[in-house]
Amino acid sequence: MNAQITTSRRTRRTPFSQYVEDAGVRAYTVYNRMLLPAVFRSLEEDYHHLKSAVQVWDVSCERQVRLRGPDALRMLQLLTPRDLTKISTKRCMYVPITDQNGGMLNDPVAIKISDEEVWISIADSDLLFWVQAIAGCNGFHVVVDEAEVFPLAVQGPKATELTARVFGDRIREMKFFGADRFVFADEEILITRTGYSKQGGFEIYVEGRHYAGELWHALFEAGADLDVRAGCPNLIERIEGGLLSFGNDMTFENTPLECGLGRCVNDSQLATCYGGRALAEERANGSQRMVRALTVSDKIPRCDRAWPLISNERLVGQITSAYRSPDFGVNVAIGMVDHTHWDAGTEMTVMTHAGPRAAKVQQKFWI
């Protein structure tokens, strides 16, 4: 069933919403109580264009939980099992945020603005309230609020060329997860080499609304010969790349280790971070389930709910994202699978809401 989203002031528009609508957005979703474009021409056409050209995404929904004060960095380290000693104003970091049980509360990018200011660029959740509570209950000298920042993403194989045309060739030197400030319209704008696609690109952190329109139009004028289009995170491309969606492929019921984020769980932090004891026990004893790439047979419906994975009449996991891949010619999927069935080649039955299908665990994701 296709249903329209009815919006109101509770569903926040962005400084770019009018430009997105002028560009022909066909579907929205709601993310952090803000409009996030979901489809422009079609899911498949948007997918092919993202993988061949360049798109500008309104991802203002990536809200910035801001920590300001002398304890900002010390408090951030308490929130995550990842060692943040290498974070700097030139390098941002992907940081799982965990609760007291080691469960995932969010998987943001942390950005150091200064020694006394950090932004946590969050996925869809009420992380602000958790961080405010931790600050208040532990007496940290820090103010926690939501910054008036509206990110734009430039993604696709031509993203570097487009971004360099607007901000200068120095941006070509940025490493993955690099961060720096560049001048546009007499404004110093923070840009990071990050984004929610495997095609590469940048995220531009627009502070305030006063130059948003000028920047949007500058990107499209500079990229006319690059076939630049308005776009958005693409379901098919993110499944192929194994990019997990918080609240969908992982929730607070899952730990970073179960989500394949073991590289972000550092033993040196487990004695002090929230959930560290539980994560240490899991690391010592082994995880009981893990995110896996899977294929699903035959024609499948839209995966708008979890699909149980069944083996010998026993529940052994679930698929949470799935779609037909035009480039790979199979139904690609992301699932959480029990340790007894997570080996590559293991076959199971997935119970879609259109009936059972065959599912098989893959060695790795596709891109």
pLDDT the model gives residue 5:
78
Residues 171 and 52 in one domain: yes
Q: Examine the domain organization and report whether 217 and 312 are in the same domain.
A: no
Range of the domain at 363: 288-367
Provide the residue-wise pLDDT of the chain in tens; the chain has 367 residues. 567 778 888 899 999 999 999 999 999 999 999 999 999 999 999 999 999 999 999 999 999 999 999 999 999 999 999 999 999 999 999 999 999 999 999 999 999 999 999 999 999 999 999 999 999 999 999 999 999 999 999 999 999 999 999 999 999 999 999 999 999 999 999 999 999 999 999 999 999 999 999 999 999 999 999 999 999 999 999 999 999 999 999 999 999 999 999 999 999 999 999 999 999 999 999 999 999 999 999 999 999 999 999 999 999 999 999 999 999 999 999 999 999 999 999 999 999 999 999 999 999 999 9
State whether 183 and 306 are in the same domain. Answer: no
Backbone angles phi, psi at 74, to 5 degrees: -65, -40
Rounded-to-integer distance, Cα 182 and Cα 4, Å: 39
Residue 339: inside a domain: yes
What CATH number does the domain containing 332 carry?
A: 2.40.30.110
Does one domain contain both 199 and 321? Answer: no
Q: Which of 204, 239, 274 is the last residue of a domain?
A: 239
Task: Report the alpha-carbon distance of residue 39 to residue 43 in Å, rounded.
Answer: 6
pLDDT for 1 equals 53
DSSP-derived pairing of the beta strands 228-231 and 54-58: parallel
Count of domains forming the chain: 2
The SS3 assignment for 49 reads helix
User: Whole-angstrom Cα distance, residue 180 to residue 156?
Assistant: 20
Asked whether the beta carbons of 79 and 272 are under 8 A apart, the reply is: no
Main-chain dihedrals φ then ψ at residue 264, nearest 5 degrees = -100, 10
Q: Which amino acid is at 227?
A: D
- Same domain (yes/no): 307, 364: yes
Q: Does 25 map to a domain?
A: yes
Specify the residue for token string 């931790």. Answer: 134
In a domain, 347, yes or no: yes
Nearest to 53 by CA among 40, 70, 37, 34: 40
pTM across the whole model = 0.96
Residue type (1 letter), 207: E
In-domain check, residue 224: yes
Is 336 found in the same domain as 235? no
Q: Tell me whether residue 92 is in a domain.
A: no
Residue 1, classed as helix, strand or coil, is: coil
Task: Judge whether 164 lies within some domain.
Answer: yes
Write the single-letter amino acid at 224: A
Question: Is the domain of 157 the same as that of 235?
Answer: yes
Q: Does residue 109 sit within a domain?
A: no
How many other CB atoms are there within 10 angstroms of residue 336's CB atom? 24
Q: Is residue 302 part of a domain?
A: yes
For residue 73, the number of C-alpha atoms closer than 13 Å in the C-beta half-sphere is 17
The order of strands in the sheet holding 228-231 is 179-184, 187-192, 201-207, 149-155, 54-58, 228-231
User: Which of the listed residues 207, 239, 271 is the one where a domain comes to its end?
Assistant: 239
* Residues 220 and 155 placed together within one structural domain of the fold: yes
Domain boundary among 222, 239, 256: 239
Of the candidates 226, 56, 40, 46, which has an alpha carbon nearest to the alpha carbon of residue 154? 56
Q: What is the CATH number of the domain that holds 212?
A: 3.30.1360.120
